[in-house]
Structure 1
Amino acid sequence: EESEEEDADDYERCLLSSITKRIRSSVKSMAYRSWVVEELVTDLLTVLQEHLLNSFFPVLQPAIEVGSAFEGWSPCGHDAFYRLLVPIKPPRGHAFHLELGAEGDMPAKDSCVRVELECTCTRDQGVENVLCFLHQREEALSRNQVSSLLGTLCTGSYLDVEKIASWFQNMVRPAWREMPQSHLYTMKVLPSSRSCKLQVTNASGRSLFIEMMFGVQRGNSDIFLSSQTAEAIFTPSTIWAESYAVAEVKFFRHVAMQAPRDSFHLKCLQLCAGSVVGTGFSTYTLKTIVMHLLNTIPLSSWRRREFLMRLQDIMWYLHSCLEEKRLDHFFFGNENMPEDIVLPPDIQTAKPINLFQYLVHDPTAHTKALREFSVL
């Protein structure tokens, strides 16, 4: 019996060593690629901001790195898309008004961004040759000072996601040629109707895949209305989806600051997320579970020696959620939230939202999910 226990321990150690070496190599590669992408996008936006100076197009803000590749746990390895959210603000003489869908909908669905002209008569008195679109409309038209935003990037009075994506893509091509890195990388704009996807390839033929989404911030919070929708169904071009990606990346940064340097929490998430690729479970489900566990299990208990125990905890949590047909959204009504994550009041005080609600109404889907879990 002792010999069998020793063999089991040896096998466990070898398995753990093999897994951690593979994941450690992947994490190092992702970290370097993240740095390259951050530098490329920062320089690209700098060129675009210079081109748009004093225009009446949206004001591009510094990009925010979001998603699994920047959080350090992408299961896709070298093929990962590096996603960034580019916040946009209204140009001078304009205002964005967020319409968050039907009252009481949580999370907000079918949200829109309405664009309104603002009076600049008083505010811009010291700015030469600037006319107010509201009160000097005829003179503005005679000088060809029209609202580029309302005229080209809106449908009616609402920001149009597809028009913004096309406008941005058309600007990226000439802007890339002005960047110092253009002689080191070739850049190709990939098809995308609601974002800007780039394939950047170096001299040795290795490619980076970058996706820039556009977002309008909800007040001063970490929640945005995003151009990218999660659903594969048709979405009207004036509809923006509520995104929690910035709050999520801030949560993982908060954990990284509090956790021991040898913490394996991202390795746990990467391995578990990789195991569900190609199944009916989304990687976002595993991400939500791990965020909940990071909020309940002490961060000192995510080290290498507890690696397999934490993997078991993640899978047991998933099984329990499937049995109960309930997985709470991480942010809605969660009282155990780090102070540096800023949520709108309606999300802070909301009742928890069940991400597995569809299993309650669809017994066939529930049976299929349990069967897929047994295979995992």
Structure 2
Amino acid sequence: MAMGLFRVCLVVVTAIVNHPLLFPRENATVPENEEEIIRKMQEHQEKLRLEHLRLEEEVSRLVAEKEALQQAEEEGQQQPEAHTAWDLWSTLCMILFLIIEIWRQDHQDGPFPECLGGDEDELSGLGGTPLRGLPLPKKATLDHFYEHCIRSATGDATRTREFVEGFVDDLLEALRSVCNRDTDMETEDFIGVGSMYENWHVERPLLCHLFVPFIPPEPYSFHPELWCSKLSMPLNYQGYGQIKVTPAGGDPLGCICGKTKLGEDMLCLLHGKSGGGQPGAGGRDEMEDLLCSKESSYLDAMQVMKWFQVALTKAWHRIAHKYEFDLAFGQLDTPGSLRIKFRSGKFMPFIVTPVIQCKDSDLYFVPQLPKEPCRGTPASSTDWLLSFAVYELQFLRMTAKALPEGACHLSCLQIASFLLSKQSRLTGPSGLSNYHLKTALLHLLLSRRAADWRANQLDVRLQELFCFLERSLLEKKLLHFFVGNRKVPEALGLPEVVRRAEPINLFRPFVLQRTLYHSTVNSFYEMLKNAPTLISEYSLHVPSDRASPPPKAIAL
């Protein structure tokens, strides 16, 4: 018994001596709370004596002292253990917070925002309602609508593409025949891009969009300059570039038009009909004939548009006798916007855009911006928009190979595009476009598992697509899918300079244009409110407004 008590006392003394709070290393004095600890131990001893009345007084005292010593030992151990546990917990919390912060930075643009429900105050100021309060139609209704309205409307897309491609191939061959290969630009084979080739076009009439790359005559070459290759560039220039025209060997005086006699209708790449000299040289009155900007060697988009339209007109006149329809320009401010008009009165629009390839990649510079309020306009006609249309097509095709058969990703995009187009007809165009819808879908495709896109998930994925757009609108932030996105598969072959560039916010104009932003948000929620009724109506009746009246055109 005595040995046991000695061991207990030894443990208690050791614990007290080593306790960091009772005996700090820098202070060897007795702590001030020692009397309080002894008092509590005595009180505990008295309680033990009352509980063991049947035992002898001496045994009760010894047992009470032993229990008191053990209790003191436990308290002495628990305090450093608690201190250690607190330090460990603080460390774990810090590590956890760091992990969350790193994850947030890596996934801050992730495509899985839940539908907003706690932003009623902000939305009330915009006239909107949280998406969770706007239920979309059930899956059965969506399936019926897609089969009877959208799928049937796009059934003849293949025939339309084949017809347009055959005609454009003939038209470009005629264009090459009327151009002088020694002095004029050389056109290459066309490339199909856009919704018609990505198989999600829903609007009527069906519209094919073709890129036609062109190159300068020898000895000249194009040298594209991307915005991300410059040290400083204003935000509104993101996504643009310039094309410098340089002669082989860097000889600025070696223009071929000074060595070759040009025809009456031929234009030198750098100079007008007057020929000779360099851009900005004196003695030339017709500066509007230049394909380069005045007093610079950068290619002018407006001059290229003019050249291309003149060349298409000459090419059509060369082959018009072979066809039993008329050809006219559709929109004068869009290069290559054409419209075939049949004798029956029907028409078929298509777009042939002259583009310049960016080095050896599938990036192309287009001479005119799409008519979208959210994408702005360049400050100069020497600024060309960098198009990722070919990469978008390749990514969709690559992704489709990994998705289940009958995947619903394009169906989601078609339904969303359909609703947006109908809402635009009701309330007018807004800052939201089909390009934004496709960008949101591409983000979802990159992050979602392949199994999530099964056909039976159409309603869930469509809801998620609208949730993503809602979050992007409220944050005024929708990042470009390719620029600065290192998650894009390397197998796609995207240039590294683009992958490492600063991300582009497609919704940045919303920050600067509050009126446009408010109208867009209101239109978005109005579209969702009208969706159930609109889908139900179109499921029962074939819309009569599919064939819109032909736009005004100028005959070639």
TM-score, length-scaled by structure 2: 0.57
Match of 1:54 in 2: 181
Count of paired positions: 354
2:493 maps to which of 322, 342, 354: 342
Match of 1:207 in 2: 347
Is 1:155 aligned to residue 283 of structure 2?
Answer: no
Contact 2:330 2:349 in 1 (8 A): no
Match of 2:171 in 1: 44
Is 1:113 aligned to residue 243 of structure 2?
Answer: yes
CA gap 1:248/1:118 in 2 versus in 1, 3 angstroms: same
Contact 2:247 2:254 in 1 (8 A): yes
In 2: Cα distance, 1:172 partner to 1:363 partner: 41
In 2: Cα distance, 1:18 partner to 1:291 partner: 23
In 1: Cα distance, 2:435 partner to 2:157 partner: 19
CA gap 1:186/1:137 in 2 versus in 1, 3 angstroms: closer
- Give CA-to-partner distance per residue, 1:17-57, whole Å, 9 cap, x none: 13322111123222321222222212211222233353321
Q: Which amino acid aligns with 2:244?
A: R
In 1: Cα distance, 2:242 partner to 2:173 partner: 28
Q: Which amino acid aligns with 2:362?
A: D
RMSD in angstroms over aligned alpha carbons? 3.2
Contact 1:162 1:193 in 2 (8 A): no
CA gap 1:164/1:352 in 2 versus in 1, 3 angstroms: closer
In 2: Cα distance, 1:171 partner to 1:351 partner: 38
In 1: Cα distance, 2:522 partner to 2:361 partner: 40
Cα shift at 1:291: 0.8
1:322 maps to which of 460, 473, 481: 473
In 2: Cα distance, 1:367 partner to 1:236 partner: 29
SS at match of 1:309: helix
In 1: Cα distance, 2:384 partner to 2:208 partner: 21
Structure 2: gaps of 5 or more residues: 1-136, 273-290, 529-556
Contact 1:93 1:133 in 2 (8 A): no
Contact 1:108 1:242 in 2 (8 A): no
CA gap 1:163/1:26 in 2 versus in 1, 3 angstroms: same
In 2: Cα distance, 1:188 partner to 1:120 partner: 41
CA gap 1:43/1:254 in 2 versus in 1, 3 angstroms: farther
Q: Which amino acid aligns with 1:151?
A: H
SS at match of 1:150: coil
In 2: Cα distance, 1:261 partner to 1:202 partner: 39
Structure 1: gaps of 5 or more residues: 1-9, 122-131
Match of 1:192 in 2: 332
CA gap 1:254/1:203 in 2 versus in 1, 3 angstroms: farther
Q: Which amino acid aligns with 1:48?
A: L
CA gap 1:144/1:23 in 2 versus in 1, 3 angstroms: closer
User: Identity across aligned pairs (percent)?
Assistant: 28
Match of 1:309 in 2: 460
- 1:119-134 matches, cutoff 5 A: 119=249, 134=254
Is 1:73 aligned to residue 200 of structure 2?
Answer: yes
- 1:1-376 matches, cutoff 5 A: 12-52=139-179, 54-78=181-205, 80-101=206-227, 103-105=231-233, 108=238, 111-119=241-249, 134=254, 140=259, 143=261, 148-152=268-272, 153-156=291-294, 157-179=297-319, 182-230=322-370, 233=377, 236-277=380-421, 278=424, 279-280=429-430, 281-360=432-511, 366-375=517-526, 376=528
- Give CA-to-partner distance per residue, 1:302-339, whole Å, 9 cap, x none: 23311111111111111222233322210022222234
In 1: Cα distance, 2:187 partner to 2:439 partner: 30
Answer with 208-217 or 109-118: which moved more.
109-118
Contact 1:166 1:193 in 2 (8 A): no
CA gap 1:228/1:136 in 2 versus in 1, 3 angstroms: closer
Q: Which amino acid aligns with 1:35?
A: E
SS at match of 2:221: strand
SS at match of 1:319: helix
In 2: Cα distance, 1:234 partner to 1:136 partner: 31
Cα shift at 1:296: 1.7
In 1: Cα distance, 2:262 partner to 2:162 partner: 42
Contact 1:119 1:133 in 2 (8 A): no
CA gap 1:358/1:135 in 2 versus in 1, 3 angstroms: closer
SS at match of 2:145: helix
Contact 1:93 1:120 in 2 (8 A): no
In 2: Cα distance, 1:35 partner to 1:225 partner: 25
Cα shift at 1:176: 2.6
In 2: Cα distance, 1:291 partner to 1:332 partner: 13
In 1: Cα distance, 2:345 partner to 2:241 partner: 41
Cα shift at 1:147: 7.5
In 2: Cα distance, 1:181 partner to 1:297 partner: 53
In 2: Cα distance, 1:309 partner to 1:11 partner: 10
TM-score, length-scaled by structure 1: 0.82
In 2: Cα distance, 1:136 partner to 1:49 partner: 19
Query: Which structure: greater strand fraction?
Result: 1
- Give CA-to-partner distance per residue, 1:315-365, whole Å, 9 cap, x none: 111122223332221002222223443323221112332222344456665
Q: Which amino acid aligns with 1:114?
A: K
In 2: Cα distance, 1:364 partner to 1:234 partner: 21
In 2: Cα distance, 1:13 partner to 1:262 partner: 16
CA gap 1:222/1:147 in 2 versus in 1, 3 angstroms: same
Match of 1:125 in 2: none
